[in-house]
C-alpha cells in the first residue's frame, strides 16, 4: 500500500490555527471525555512537510505513516538493526529499551509434586510500562499471536516468533484498544515479516528479477547456532514470490551459578536442548497501480528437551517417593495463512480499502516424567491449543475543505474467532483419584467490532478523535472432559465496551512538535480465567471458577515532545494510567493448605491501581572524525505503580533502565560501545518485603536485585558488496546481576539465587551474504 502523504503540502504549512479549528478540537476532546466507557490509545498521524523522515510504521494507524508525526510513543527496530545488534529472540529485543522487559526465568520447574512453573514458559512475553502477560498484544503481520497459558506447574510462553523471518518490529507503548480491541491494555508488539520487495528493490539500486540472502549466526549465551536463506523472484511485472527458511539449535541460557551438583541445590543451568525450524512463503500479485494482493504462509516449530537435575532429591534418598530425576519434552508449532487485499479506488465516498483474512493454528505439547526412588514413575502430558480466524476491513476517505483544512476519515470492522482447548493426561500410580481432564472447557472466544477515527488537519494542528465498539463472547463449546470430573460445569460470558480516544499533535516549527493523547482501554477475561478449576483429593488446594469476571478498564493520558534537529533528535513522554477491575489470577482467599483446610484460590477483579512514568530517548550527532561519523544514542525510563486500595507499591514494576552508546560508522565499518545501567529494586518499591508464606513469624524476606552497570560492544564489517560480518561481546566486564522480572517471589535466604543470574561475558557473531 502506498504511503499516504496526508492532504498535500499546502494543508500542512505552518499557518495560524483558525478559531473554527480550535473549537472543533475542544469539542472533540469534550465529547470523548464524556464517553463513559473503556477506551484505548490509538494514533493520529500526518506527514509534516518540513521534514522527510525515513522510518515508516503501520501499527500506529493501521496504514503506513512516518513515525515522527504520530502522537504516541513507538519503537521501531528494523532488520538491519536486528542483524547488527545480534538480536535473535524477543529477550534480546527488549534489552536496551526503557520501560520494556521480557521475563526469562531459569528452567527450574517441576513435572509433578508441588506446583512450580519457574522458567517453563521460556521467554514469557513482554512487559510494557509495568503491565505484562496477555495485557500486551502481540501480532505478526497484524495477526494475533497465541496468548500465554499458565496453570500450576504448566506454562506456555509467547516466544512463537522466528526473528530471522522479521524485517521490522514495532512496539507501541500505551493502550491500543481503539484500533486493535482487547489485549492491548499495556501496548502492542507487531512483527512484520520480510517481503519479496525487500530483496528485489533495494535502496539506490536497480530492480532485480531474483534476489535473496544466506546467513549463519552463533551466540554464546545459549550456544545457539542458526543457518538460513531467503530467495525472492519475479514471474513478471505483476507476480513476485518469496521463500525463506531457517533452522537453529541451542542449549539452556547460561548464568553465573557455580554449584554444579545434580540436586535441588544446583545453581548451574539444567541440561537443555532446543531446536527450531521456520518457513515463510509469500506470493504477491500487483494487478495494477491501484490493486495489490498478498498471500502468506508461515510455519514455526520449536522444541525443547530438559533434564531437570535441579529436581533431584539429595542423597541419601530416604523416602519411597523421593525424586531421582525428571525429564520434559516441549513442542510448539504455529501455522498461519494470510490473505491481504489492498485497493486504491479514489471514489467519491472512499479512497482506499484494505481487507485482511487470516487463519492460524497454534499447538503446544508438554510431556514430562518423574522418576521416583522406589515407587513407579509419574507421567504428565499437557496440551494447549488455539485455532484462530481473523478478518478485518478498513476504508478511508480524504475530504479537503480548503488549503488549510482537511480530514481523513477511517472506518473499520474487525472479527476474530479463537477456539481454545487444553488437556491434562498422564499416569499416576497409587493415586486412584487421578483422572485425565481439562482445566477449563473447550471455549470459542469471539469478538466483533466497528471503529472510526477522524484525522483533522488544521494548520499546524492534527487532531484525531477515535471511537470503537467491541462485543465479545466466551462460549463454552462442550463440557466433555471438563464436567465431570469438575463438580461445576463451565459457563459462558459475553460483554461489550465502547472505547474512545483523542490524539493531538502540534507542529511548533520545522524542528519540533508536541503531542497529547487521551484514551481509555479494556481487556476482556479469557476462558481459563472464568472457568479454570482445580480439585484434587491428594493436593490440599482448590481453584474456583469465576464466570462473573468483568473486563479490565483503564484511563490513560500521555504528553510528549519530539525534536528533529540536524545534529540532535529527542523523544520525551510522560504518561499516567488509572486501572479498575484489574484481573488478579489465582488470588489466595484463605485456607492453610493442609488436609481438611485446603488453600483456596480464585481469579478475581481487584479495585484500583495507577501507573505513572516517563521516557526519554534520542541521539546526538557529533562531528566527523577519523574518516567516519560519530553519534551517541541514549534512552532512560522510569515507571511507578500503586495499589490505590491497599496504598502499597505494585511489586511487579521493573526498576528504571538507562542506556547510552558511542557509535562510529563509515562505508566499511559500523562500531558501537554501549553502557546500560539498571537500578536496583528497593524494599520500599514492594507491596511487602516478605513473601506471602509463611504468613506468621518467622517470615521470609524477598530477594531484591542490586543495581548494575554492564557494557556491550558490536562491530559490523562490510567486507564487500552484500557481504556483512557482525560480531559482538555482551556483558563486556563480566558482571554478575539479576533481572527483577526473573526473581520475583524468590526468598532472600535461598541457596540457589545464583541460578537466576544473567549470563556473564559472551560473544556472538553472524555472517550475511546477499545476492
Give 361: exposed, middle or buried? Use CB within 10 Å, 0-12, 13-18, 19+: middle
Provide CB contacts within 8 A for 136, sequence distance 6+.
125, 126, 127, 128, 183, 184, 185, 186, 187, 188, 189
**What is the sign, positive or negative, of the torsion defined by CA atoms of 103, 105, 111, 116?**
negative
| pLDDT tens digits, one per residue of 44-65 | 333 333 333 468 888 888 888 8
Q: Which pLDDT band, with edges at 50, 70 and 90, does 484 fall under? A: confident
Work out the number of other CB atoms within 10 angstroms of the CB of residue 87. 21
Question: Does residue 579 belong to any structural domain of this protein?
Answer: no
Cα(72)–Cα(581) distance, integer angstroms? 25
Where residue 761 sits, what CATH number does that domain have?
2.40.170
Question: Does residue 177 belong to any structural domain of this protein?
Answer: yes
The answer to whether the bond into 694 is cis (omega within 30° of 0) is: yes
Cα(723)–Cα(166) distance, integer angstroms? 19
Instruction: State the SS3 of 164-224.
Output: HHEEEEEEEECCCHHHHCCCCCCEEEEEEECCCHHHHCCCCCCCCCEEEEEEEEEECCCCE
Please give the span between the terminal C-alpha atoms of the chain, in angstroms, as a whole number. Answer: 26
pLDDT > 70? residue 759: yes
Q: How many residues does the chain have?
A: 771
Question: Does residue 109 belong to any structural domain of this protein?
Answer: yes
Question: Does residue 260 belong to any structural domain of this protein?
Answer: yes
Give 264: exposed, middle or buried? Use CB within 10 Å, 0-12, 13-18, 19+: middle
Cα(640)–Cα(656) distance, integer angstroms? 9
pLDDT > 80? residue 40: no
Cα(318)–Cα(673) distance, integer angstroms? 54
pLDDT, residue 741, reads 95
Into how many domains does the chain fold? Answer: 1
- What number is the average pLDDT over the span 762-771? 97
- pLDDT > 70: percent of the chain: 92
Structural domain harbouring 477 = 8-537+667-702+710-770
DSSP helix/strand/coil, 758: coil
CA 259 to chain centre: 34
- What number is the average pLDDT over the span 208-233? 97
Q: Which residues pair with 217 in a beta bridge?
A: 226, 766
Work out the number of other CB atoms within 10 angstroms of the CB of residue 4. 20
DSSP string computed for 10-76:
HHTS--PPPHHHHHHHHHHHHHHHT--S-----------TT-----EESTTTSS-EEGGG-SSEEEE
Work out the number of other CB atoms within 10 angstroms of the CB of residue 622. 13
| pLDDT tens digits, one per residue of 680-716 | 999 999 999 999 877 778 899 999 999 999 999 999 9
Cell of 254: 547460561
φ, ψ of residue 265 in degrees (nearest 5): -90, 5
Question: Does residue 437 belong to any structural domain of this protein?
Answer: yes
Mean pLDDT for all residues in the chain: 89
Q: Which pLDDT band, with edges at 50, 70 and 90, does 496 fall under? A: very high
Question: Does residue 740 belong to any structural domain of this protein?
Answer: yes
| Lowest-confidence region among 11-25, 291-305, 619-633 | 11-25
pLDDT > 60? residue 32: no
pLDDT, residue 115, reads 65
> CA neighbours within 13 Å on the CB side: how many for 119?
22
Cα(618)–Cα(571) distance, integer angstroms? 6
Question: Does residue 1 belong to any structural domain of this protein?
Answer: no
Question: Does residue 660 belong to any structural domain of this protein?
Answer: no
Q: What is the DSSP letter of 680?
A: P
More confident residue, 644 or 8: 644
Q: Which pLDDT band, with edges at 50, 70 and 90, does 114 fall under? A: low
Provide CB contacts within 8 A for 556, sequence distance 6+.
40, 41, 174, 175, 517, 518, 519, 520, 521, 575, 576, 577, 578
| pLDDT tens digits, one per residue of 328-358 | 999 999 999 999 999 999 999 999 999 999 9
Going by DSSP bridges, is the β-strand pair 442-458/461-478 parallel, antiparallel, or unpaired? antiparallel
| pLDDT tens digits, one per residue of 97-110 | 999 999 999 999 99
Amino acid at each position: 500500500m502506498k504511503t499516504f502523504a496526508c492532504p498535500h503540502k499546502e494543508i500542512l504549512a505552518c499557518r495560524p490555527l483558525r478559531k473554527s479549528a480550535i473549537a472543533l478540537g475542544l469539542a472533540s476532546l469534550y465529547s470523548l471525555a464524556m464517553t463513559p466507557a473503556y477506551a484505548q490509545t490509538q494514533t493520529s498521524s500526518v506527514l509534516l512537510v518540513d521534514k522527510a523522515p525515513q522510518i515508516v510504521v503501520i501499527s500506529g494507524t493501521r496504514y503506513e505513516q512516518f513515525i515522527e508525526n504520530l502522537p504516541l510513543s513507538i519503537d521501531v527496530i528494523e532488520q538491519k538493526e536486528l542483524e547488527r545488534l545480534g538480536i535473535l529472540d524477543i529477550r534480546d529485543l527488549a534489552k536496551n529499551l526503557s520501560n520494556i522487559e521480557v521475563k526469562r526465568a531459569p528452567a527450574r520447574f517441576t513435572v509433578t509434586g508441588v506446583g512450580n512453573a519457574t522458567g517453563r514458559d521460556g521467554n514469557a512475553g513482554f512487559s510494557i510500562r509495568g503491565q505484562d502477560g496477555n495485557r500486551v498484544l502481540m501480532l505478526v503481520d497484524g495477526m494475533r499471536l497465541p496468548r500465554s497459558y499458565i496453570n500450576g506447574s504448566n506454562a506456555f510462553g509467547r516466544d512463537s516468533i522466528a526473528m530471522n523471518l522479521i524485517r521490522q518490529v514495532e512496539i507501541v507503548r500505551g493502550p491500543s484498544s481503539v484500533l486493535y480491541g482487547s489485549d492491548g491494555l499495556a501496548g502492542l508488539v507487531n512483527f512484520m515479516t520480510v517481503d519479496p520487495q525487500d530483496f528485489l528493490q533495494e535502496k539506490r539500486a536497480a530492480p532485480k528479477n531474483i534476489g535473496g540472502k544466506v546467513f549463519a549466526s552463533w551466540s554464546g549465551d545459549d550456544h545457539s547456532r542458526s543457518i538460513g536463506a531467503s530467495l525472492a523472484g519475479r514471474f513478471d511485472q505483476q507476480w513476485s514470490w518469496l521463500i525463506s527458511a531457517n533452522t537453529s539449535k541451542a542449549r539452556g541460557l547460561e548464568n553465573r551459578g557455580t554449584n554444579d551438583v545434580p540436586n535441588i541445590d544446583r545453581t548451574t543451568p539444567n541440561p537443555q536442548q532446543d531446536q527450531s525450524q521456520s518457513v515463510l512463503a509469500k506470493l504477491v500479485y500487483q494487478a495494477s497501480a491501484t490493486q495489490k494482493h498478498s498471500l502468506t504462509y508461515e510455519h514455526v516449530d520449536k522444541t525443547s528437551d530438559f533434564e531437570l537435575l535441579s529436581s533431584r532429591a539429595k542423597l541419601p534418598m530416604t523416602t519411597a517417593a523421593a525424586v531421582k530425576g525428571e525429564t520434559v519434552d516441549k513442542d510448539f508449532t504455529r501455522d498461519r495463512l494470510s490473505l491481504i487485499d489492498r485497493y486504491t479506488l479514489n471514489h467519491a465516498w472512499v479512497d482506499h480499502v484494505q481487507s485482511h483474512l487470516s487463519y492460524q493454528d497454534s499447538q503446544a505439547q508438554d510431556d514430562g516424567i518423574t522418576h521416583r526412588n522406589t515407587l513407579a514413575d509419574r507421567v504428565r502430558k499437557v496440551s494447549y491449543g488455539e485455532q484462530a480466524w481473523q478478518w478485518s476491513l478498513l476504508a478511508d476517505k480524504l475530504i479537503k475543505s480548503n488549503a488549510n483544512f482537511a480530514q481523513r476519515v477511517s472506518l473499520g470492522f474487525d472479527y476474530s474467532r479463537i477456539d481454545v482447548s487444553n488437556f491434562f493426561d498422564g499416569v499416576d500410580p497409587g493415586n486412584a483419584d487421578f483422572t485425565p481432564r481439562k482445566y477449563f472447557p473447550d471455549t470459542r472466544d469471539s469478538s466483533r467490532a466497528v471503529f472510526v477515527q477522524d484525522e483533522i488537519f488544521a494548520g499546524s494542528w492534527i487532531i484525531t478523535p477515535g471511537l470503537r465498539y467491541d462485543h465479545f463472547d466466551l462460549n463454552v463449546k462442550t463440557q466433555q472432559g471438563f464436567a465431570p470430573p469438575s463438580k461445576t460445569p463451565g459457563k459462558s460470558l459475553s460483554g461489550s465496551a465502547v472505547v474512545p480516544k483523542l490524539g493531538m499533535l502540534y507542529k511548533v516549527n520545522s524542528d519540533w512538535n508536541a503531542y497529547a493523547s487521551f484514551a481509555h482501554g479494556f481487556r476482556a477475561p479469557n476462558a481459563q480465567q472464568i472457568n479454570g478449576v482445580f480439585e484434587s483429593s491428594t493436593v490440599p488446594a482448590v481453584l474456583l471458577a469465576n464466570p462473573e469476571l468483568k473486563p479490565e478498564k483503564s484511563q490513560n493520558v500521555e504528553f510528549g515532545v519530539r525534536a528533529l534537529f540536524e545534529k540532535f533528535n529527542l523523544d520525551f513522554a510522560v504518561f499516567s494510567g488509572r486501572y479498575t477491575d484489574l484481573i488478579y489470577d489465582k488470588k489466595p482467599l484463605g485456607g492453610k493448605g493442609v488436609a481438611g483446610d485446603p488453600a483456596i484460590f480464585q481469579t478475581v477483579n481487584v479495585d484500583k491501581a495507577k501507573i505513572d512514568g516517563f521516557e526519554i530517548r534520542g541521539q546526538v550527532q557529533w562531528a566527523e572524525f577519523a574518516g567516519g561519523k560519530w553519534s551517541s544514542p541514549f534512552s532512560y525510563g522510569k515507571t511507578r505503580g500503586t495499589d490505590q486500595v491497599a496504598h502499597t507499591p505494585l511489586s511487579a514494576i521493573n526498576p528504571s533502565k538507562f542506556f547510552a552508546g558511542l557509535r562510529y560508522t563509515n562505508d566499511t565499518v559500523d562500531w558501537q560501545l554501549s553502557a546500560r545501567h539498571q537500578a536496583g529494586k528497593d524494599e520500599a518499591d514492594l507491596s511487602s518485603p516478605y513473601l506471602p508464606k509463611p504468613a506468621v513469624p518467622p517470615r521470609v524476606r524477598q530477594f531484591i536485585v542490586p543495581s548494575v552497570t554492564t557494557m556491550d560492544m558490536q562491530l559490523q564489517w562490510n567486507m564487500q558488496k552484500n557481504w556483512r560480518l557482525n560480531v559482538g561481546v555482551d556483558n563486556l566486564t563480566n558482571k554478575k546481576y539479576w533481572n527483577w522480572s526473573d526473581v520475583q517471589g524468590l526468598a532472600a535466604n535461598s541457596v540457589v539465587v545464583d541460578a537466576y543470574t544473567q549470563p556473564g561475558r559472551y560473544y556472538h557473531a553472524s555472517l550475511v551474504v546477499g545476492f
